[in-house]
Structure 1
């Protein structure tokens, strides 16, 4: 019986600790400056000269955590790439550096997000754009806002009319700039505000529930609450009460 308990405990430790990170690489702080130290080789890999250093956690994943409901799905075991990348801060700007101290981006950005769906948001001079995992600037900072690709589409905002449009990871606009507000996807649909009316789009940027309501909540448990004039009721994803 004791042996069985030990085996279960070892499995749990392996599940939550083993292979989840490169534990030999440690971010270190010296005199309020950050760098990267390799515990195995006892060598500094990135000198402690940066104002901050943050691991890009999603670089070596495909973001399956947003779709997989199986707690014991071990797709991540031994799937790590051989190299990790870090966002570094220098004089209040951000760049990207590899674990072997190769500068990928000079510190030209005021913001860099982690990777989602293979792309990351960057901000330069109050304008937003995107980079891919090859560290190519696939969308020059042009927009007044740009959201992470948690789903297959995201949203960008125009300086011209201050409205949002849908965009896919290939940087193709899927709609005109017509939405005043956009919200995160919930149950496969996202709330949008257009011409002061609320509706819903799907992950293909199709307006599956027309923007005609005075207010709409997110879908929770297949239902969303609607305010339509003086009426309040719930609808399903087919716009049926």
Structure 2
């Protein structure tokens, strides 16, 4: 019997495209029977390691491309019936504290509630989440024990885990967010989700793998 198929979603809260892509994952999970592993990475670290830059930087000064990019986002929103999305007026936001918090929340068994709250305060009711006071008050308003998460995020094992996640992702081919892995196959961007689902179904069928 083949091992369960491993499917991963590598994310950074600072990427609006990762937020939008994640909203489409539950439907893919329902259709395929797989569960995505959510892997926090530091996008700034990915960019530094690969020489990449954010779309906001790479599109600056290019005629027509930013407008097309915005149109593609609108199409994605319609296709997946996404209504809760607002561009963060403080973008780009330094996400180091947010991403260490994600690892800390994972270690403390609070990942799901932290993940939902972080995305809410970044892209639903957007705030300047790299401001320490704003960060704390936002998570408190969502009912999280944020002081526990903040304290845990300062521990060396949390910092080390985020660095390891990021370095490993780059070694496997990552250059931005969102990135998906279906087994060893890498896919980039929210517009690759149809291919991600096709790859899942193909690997499940060809390898007779169990769902994770």
Q: What TM-score comes out, normalization by structure 2 length? A: 0.25
Normalising to structure 1: TM-score of the pair?
0.23
Higher strand share: 1
Larger helix proportion of the pair? 2
Specify the structure having the higher radius of gyration (Cα): 1
